[in-house]
Amino acid sequence: MSLTRQLWLAVITSTILAFAGSFIVSMLTARNYLENQLAIKNRDNASSLALSITHVPKEPVNIELQVAAVYDSGQYEFIKLTDPEGSIMIEKRSTGEEINAPAWFVNLFPITSRPGLAQISDGWKQFASIELVSQRGYVYEELWRGALQLLFWFLAGGIVVGLLGSLMVKALSKPLNAVVRQADAISKRRFETIPLPRIPELKSVTEAMNTMVGRLKAMFEEEALRLEEVRREANLDKLTGLGNRSYFLGRLGNELSSDEAHPTGVVMILRIAGLAEINRNAGREITDNLLKRTGSIVAETVGQDPSTMSGRLNGSDFALLMPNVTEYEQMADNLIGRMQDLAASSDLQLEGGTLAQLGVTVYHHGENIGTLMARLDKALATAESRGGNVWHATLSEEGVELTSMDEWKQLIENAISSRTLKLVHFAVTKKGKILHHECPLRLKTPDHDDWIAAGSFMPMASRLRITSKLDLAAVTLALDDLKKTTDEMAVNISGESIPNPEFVLELQKLLQANPESRERLWLEAPEVGVFQHFDSFVNFCQGLRPYGCKIGVEHFGHRFSQIGKLHNLGLDYLKVDGSFVRNIDEQAGNQSFLKGLCSIAHNIGLFVIAEGVQTEEEMKILPTLGFDGVTGPAVRESN
């Protein structure tokens, strides 16, 4: 029973009890008072009538007229005259009277009308005695009127007290509800603080809850910082801060195999010439400084695009990964030019002024990483053989068909309008059982039966600012497919769509129109887009939460230090980027990082899925690290 109902029940009960007590006491008191007043009235009226008869001739007719005049006023039950011997001379008695009060009330509070007595004289002798009793009807009416007034005021008072109590309960409910919501958030591993209420008792409770939340949040953040340090130690070169060899090759392998990756890109390897000799001649401190400056140049070359990456493969080799880039000549010239400037500005004794050579190649989606690295080694060897600060490119025979932006726009918009789009299904499993299907989008070419992967056309859609249309088309396809199956499906939402209010509104309309299938829909946004548009992502989550679909972040891990921002969003799951998963059975440092990541994610109520699982060895170790589900080429479904 709610507090408001309990309050009203208490008010009604107390009002009834108070009214019952007051009613009985008031009625008894009023009855006694009215009986006394009635007795006085009877005595006075009897004396008045006796005095009137005393002063008139004692003829029977005169006496009868005097008595009749008084009786006919209707105020008396009876009037009786008796002579000194006790014989009745005149008696007038009413046969009944109308009482305007309920019979139960009359029976509950009977009123006794004590008769008024007086003596009639004839000179010095007693002529007769008179006995007079007034009617009691008007007394009952007055008593009943008082009872009704008492009831009215008690009802009015009870209603006023109840309303005031309801307002007080409502005022109390706001801070109480806030405390309840806070406790519910803690149970769901979200850490929320609430404003302090004015009520002292609730204020102390709220302060204690906020203090607890603050401590939990601090512990969470400390653990996140510790794991971020573990991630850096496992994946970054300590001297330059660039990605280490295993991390870089993991990212490269993910670009080559991921269905959502760009279809083509450029990879470069920069080698410091004669690093061992430089170290012997110049000393470790100068050599370390050279490597740091080289690392800065390499990092500045790839820029701030989160899809690019720079790494240090070994002591002298630096690598650059630039997806969706094919025109590399100017970039290679600039990089070698900056290395020449570094050589000229240093005090190093370099043979022929040679500091570095650069090998370049273009990769294509689906290409074998071993073949790619062999081609890079060939390009680097060719540059070294030429001598000096030079670069060389070795390209594969496979070419990339170039299409203008206008042609891409027409192709994508036609596909949307003609619905020549489809979703392909990749299993996401938990202990071999289907958790859901990951459903990237495919676009059909107009002149062929080929279907283009999302990694080929989504970058173009992003440039053309039409990713929201593709995302809505993908959600529409998924909702239609869900009507035909009992499975669950996950659809990718582009980072560019998150801050688009029109997209969010249309998405809400789609979900509202499909109540039977929306709760089996998983929507996932890339880590880069989530943190680039974080405020919009918060609104995105809040706007979609009432519809029951699951919301997650994919390709997670590169910005793990910001995981603390996710704990209040009500997310359902994380998909860890495949670059962290690749060869995880051989990466002790990444194992520690991923184990801690899963632990923290579980502590804030998130399901954790590994992306891009390539081998059975990776598959076997992931559950021991805390992963709840897996997806990738190595995943097999079981019935």
Same domain, 480 and 537: yes
Report the chain's C-alpha Rg in angstroms.
Answer: 49
Same domain, 610 and 463: yes
- Tally: H helices and E strands in the chain: 19, 20
Residue 402 has pLDDT above 60, yes or no: no
Residue 244: inside a domain, yes or no?
Answer: no
Per-residue pLDDT band for 639 (boundaries 50, 70, 90) equals: very low
Report how far residue 576's alpha carbon sits from residue 610's, in angstroms, rounded to the nearest whole number. 5
Same domain, 273 and 141: no
Quote the crossing angle between the two packed helices 284-302 and 329-345, to the nearest 10°: 150
Per-residue pLDDT band for 401 (boundaries 50, 70, 90) equals: very low
Q: What digits encode the pLDDT tens for the residues 110-122?
A: 888 888 888 888 7
Top mean pLDDT of 216-220, 441-445, 633-637 is at: 441-445
Residue 279: inside a domain, yes or no?
Answer: yes
Quote the pLDDT of residue 189: 64
Tell me the pairing of strands 421-423 and 489-492: unpaired
Per-residue pLDDT band for 312 (boundaries 50, 70, 90) equals: very high
Same domain, 382 and 421: no
User: Which residues partner with 117 through β-bridges?
Assistant: 131
Q: Which residue has the higher pLDDT, 174 or 45?
A: 45
Q: What is the mean pLDDT of residues 456-464?
A: 78
Residue 503 has pLDDT above 90, yes or no: yes
Q: Token digits for 399?
A: 């070419």
Residue whose tokens read 């039977």? 516
Quote the pLDDT of residue 322: 92
Residue 526: inside a domain, yes or no?
Answer: yes
- Where is the domain boundary, 159, 189, 211? 159
Quote the pLDDT of residue 628: 94
Residue 441: inside a domain, yes or no?
Answer: yes
Residue 258: inside a domain, yes or no?
Answer: no
Residue 306 has pLDDT above 70, yes or no: yes
Residue 92 has pLDDT above 90, yes or no: no
Q: Which residue has the higher pLDDT, 221 or 237?
A: 237
Q: Which residue has the higher pLDDT, 278 or 175?
A: 278
Share of the chain above pLDDT 90, in %: 28
Residue 233: inside a domain, yes or no?
Answer: no
Report how far residue 415's alpha carbon sits from residue 425's, in angstroms, rounded to the nearest whole number. 19
Per-residue pLDDT band for 351 (boundaries 50, 70, 90) equals: low
Same domain, 66 and 141: yes
Residue 166: inside a domain, yes or no?
Answer: no
Per-residue pLDDT band for 187 (boundaries 50, 70, 90) equals: low
Same domain, 506 and 601: yes
CATH number at residue 83: 3.30.110.200
Same domain, 526 and 552: yes
Q: What digits encode the pLDDT tens for the residues 363-396?
A: 988 888 888 888 888 888 888 877 788 899 887 6
Per-residue pLDDT band for 159 (boundaries 50, 70, 90) equals: confident
Same domain, 16 and 96: yes
Same domain, 455 and 582: yes
The set of residues, in sequence order, having a beta carbon less than 8 Å from that of 497 and lying 6+ positions away, is 467, 468, 471, 503
Long-range pairs for 613-619 at CB < 8 Å and ≥24 separation? 613/578, 613/581, 614/253, 614/257, 614/581, 614/582, 615/585, 617/585, 618/581, 618/582, 618/583, 618/584, 618/585
Q: What digits encode the pLDDT tens for the residues 538-558?
A: 999 999 989 999 999 999 988
Tell me the pairing of strands 309-312 and 317-323: antiparallel
Same domain, 309 and 411: no
Same domain, 331 and 456: no
Q: What is the mean pLDDT of residues 145-156?
A: 84
Quote the pLDDT of residue 595: 92
User: Are the C-beta atoms of 626 and 595 separated by less than 8 Å?
Assistant: yes
Residue 228: inside a domain, yes or no?
Answer: no
- Where is the domain boundary, 335, 366, 393? 393
Report how far residue 563's alpha carbon sits from residue 232's, in angstroms, rounded to the nearest whole number. 15
Quote the pLDDT of residue 558: 84
CA distances (Å), origin 510, targets 210, 460, 470, 545, 611: 38, 25, 14, 14, 28
- Where is the domain boundary, 369, 393, 417? 393
> 272: domain range?
264-393
Q: What digits encode the pLDDT tens for the residues 35-45?
A: 888 888 888 88
Q: What is the mean pLDDT of residues 9-31?
A: 80
Quote the pLDDT of residue 244: 92
Q: Token digits for 123?
A: 């000179």
Quote the pLDDT of residue 413: 86
CATH number at residue 425: 3.20.20.450
Same domain, 609 and 468: yes
Query: Among 1-10, 191-200, 327-336, which stretch is predicted with the lowest mean pLDDT?
Result: 1-10
Quote the pLDDT of residue 180: 76
Q: What is the mean pLDDT of residues 572-600?
A: 90
> Over the chain, what is the mean pLDDT?
84
Number of domains in the chain: 3
Q: What is the mean pLDDT of residues 435-458?
A: 80
Q: What digits encode the pLDDT tens for the residues 201-217?
A: 677 878 888 888 788 77
CATH number at residue 317: 3.30.70.270
